């Protein structure tokens, strides 16, 4: 019903988008905070762009913008949440498709720079911030890699096979997700080609160095990160190794299975956090440019964590 009403409302879609949680996945309170926070950044960016180019008339002369910042922000949120095409958004807001494309291209990087909100006014923007937060709060961190399917690179590209992971055999990019022991998203890394192994991506992000040199804390991981435990002084905990490859005694099989399930039951919260991320359709499968994936992943992580922090503070 809300979708039909949006088509009928045209340029009046703003009120329904803000009021209906299902459209953006964000409460009106969060959207109001985004307007207050990101609006001045976008205006400063816009003015800098106007003054940087050669001009024959003063800044501000000419026709005034009809597509105000609030509408630009809402169009970006709907695009991230539902993967709505730019043509459809242009119909909703009564503007040209190119205007929507330009607006999303301007707002999305600003959302990506915000970082993940863990409490009102407290943000984690880098992996170092996450390690410091987990250490100071004595919480357990959980890491895992997630893949997002993307379009196949054009034929003839030298790096075409880099986007095909060995496990799924589908063109994808990969991001490392860090959550706390309650499943709240603390960090999402920039996108890497899908063939990059989970442990390789973690090392490239500097996780091993940060943990080895930082405070002692426990970080749960799956078998894809085996080997990092020795590099981090036991801070990264992975599933137990099998000592018997075949013909294992029954008692050993039972003990190994119990330990594996105990580890899995503690680590499952990161899967819940990834599932919340994938509820945003732009991260379920992306049909646009792969160059935008890092901004999309980090923008969604920041928005989701902001909503989670508001929900927890009201609980």
Would you say residue 245 has pLDDT above 90?
no
- The predicted-structure confidence for 263-276, as pLDDT tens digits, reads as follows 899 999 999 999 99
Asked if pLDDT for residue 250 goes beyond 70, the answer is yes
d(CA 14, CA 17): 5
pLDDT confidence of residue 242? 73
Q: What confidence category does residue 8 fall into, taking pLDDT thresholds of 50, 70 and 90?
A: very low
CA distance 172 to 186: 22
The helix-helix angle for 293-314 and 97-112 (nearest 10°) equals 60
**Predicted local distance difference test score (pLDDT) of residue 247:** 77
Mean pLDDT of the chain: 87
Q: Which pLDDT value is given to residue 153?
A: 81
CB 108 within 8 A of CB 295: yes
What percentage of residues in the chain have a pLDDT greater than 90?
Answer: 53
| Residue 14: C-alpha distances to residues 5, 9, 41, 71 (Å) | 12, 9, 21, 7
CB 111 within 8 A of CB 303: yes
pLDDT at 11 over 70: no
Spell out the residues 6+ positions from residue 70 whose beta carbon is closer than 8 angstroms to its own.
14, 35, 39
pLDDT tens for each residue of 31-51: 999 999 999 999 999 888 878
CA distances to 29, 33, 115, 140, 209 from 310, rounded to whole Å, are 8, 11, 15, 22, 33
Condensed to tens digits (0 to 9), the pLDDT of residues 64-85 reads 667 889 999 999 999 999 999 9
The angle that helices 97-112 and 69-82 make with each other, rounded to 10 degrees, is 80
Residue 58 sits at φ, ψ, to 5 deg, of: -70, 155
Encode pLDDT of 88-130 as tens digits.
999 888 889 999 999 999 999 999 999 999 988 889 999 999 9
Who contacts 143 (Cβ-Cβ below 8 Å, separation ≥6)?
A: 176, 177, 178, 202, 207, 219, 220, 221, 225, 236, 270
Is residue 189's pLDDT more than 50?
yes
Residue 315 has what pLDDT?
60
SS3 204: helix
The more confident residue out of 312 and 262 is: 262
**1 has a pLDDT exceeding 70:** no
Mean pLDDT to the nearest integer, 131-156: 89
Residue 295: its pLDDT value, please? 95
Please state the rounded mean pLDDT for residues 213-232. Answer: 89
**The pLDDT value given to residue 12:** 58
- Residue 63: pLDDT band with limits 50, 70, 90: low
């Amino acid at each position: 019903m809300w979708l039909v009403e949006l088509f009928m409302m045209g340029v009046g879609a703003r009120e329904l988008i803000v009021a209906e949680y299902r459209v953006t996945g964000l409460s009106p309170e969060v959207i109001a905070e985004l307007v207050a926070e990101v609006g001045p950044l976008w205006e400063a960016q816009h003015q800098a762009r106007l003054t940087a180019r050669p001009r024959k008339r003063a800044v501000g002369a000419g026709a005034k913008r009809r597509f105000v910042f609030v509408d630009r922000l809402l169009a970006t949120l709907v695009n991230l949440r539902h993967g709505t095409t730019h043509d459809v958004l242009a119909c909703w807001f009564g503007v040209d498709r190119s205007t929507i494309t330009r607006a999303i291209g301007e707002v999305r990087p600003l959302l990506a720079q915000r970082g993940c909100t863990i409490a009102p006014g407290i943000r984690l923007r880098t992996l170092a911030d996450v390690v410091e937060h987990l250490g100071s709060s004595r919480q357990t961190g959980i890491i895992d890699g997630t893949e997002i399917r993307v379009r196949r690179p054009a034929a003839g590209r030298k790096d075409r096979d880099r986007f095909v992971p060995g496990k799924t055999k589908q063109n994808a990019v990969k991001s490392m997700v860090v959550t706390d022991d309650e499943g709240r998203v603390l960090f999402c890394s920039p996108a890497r080609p899908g063939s990059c192994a989970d442990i390789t991506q973690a090392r490239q992000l500097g996780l091993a160095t940060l943990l080895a040199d930082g405070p002692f804390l426990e970080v749960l991981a799956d078998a894809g990160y085996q080997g990092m435990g020795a590099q981090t002084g036991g801070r990264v905990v992975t599933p137990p190794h099998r000592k018997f490859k075949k013909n294992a005694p029954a008692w050993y099989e039972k003990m190994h299975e119990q330990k594996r399930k105990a580890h899995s039951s503690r680590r499952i919260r990161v899967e819940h956090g990834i599932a919340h991320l994938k509820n945003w359709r732009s991260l379920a499968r992306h049909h646009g440019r792969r160059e935008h994936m890092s901004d999309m992943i980090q923008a969604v992580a920041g928005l989701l964590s902001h909503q989670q922090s508001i929900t927890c503070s009201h609980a």
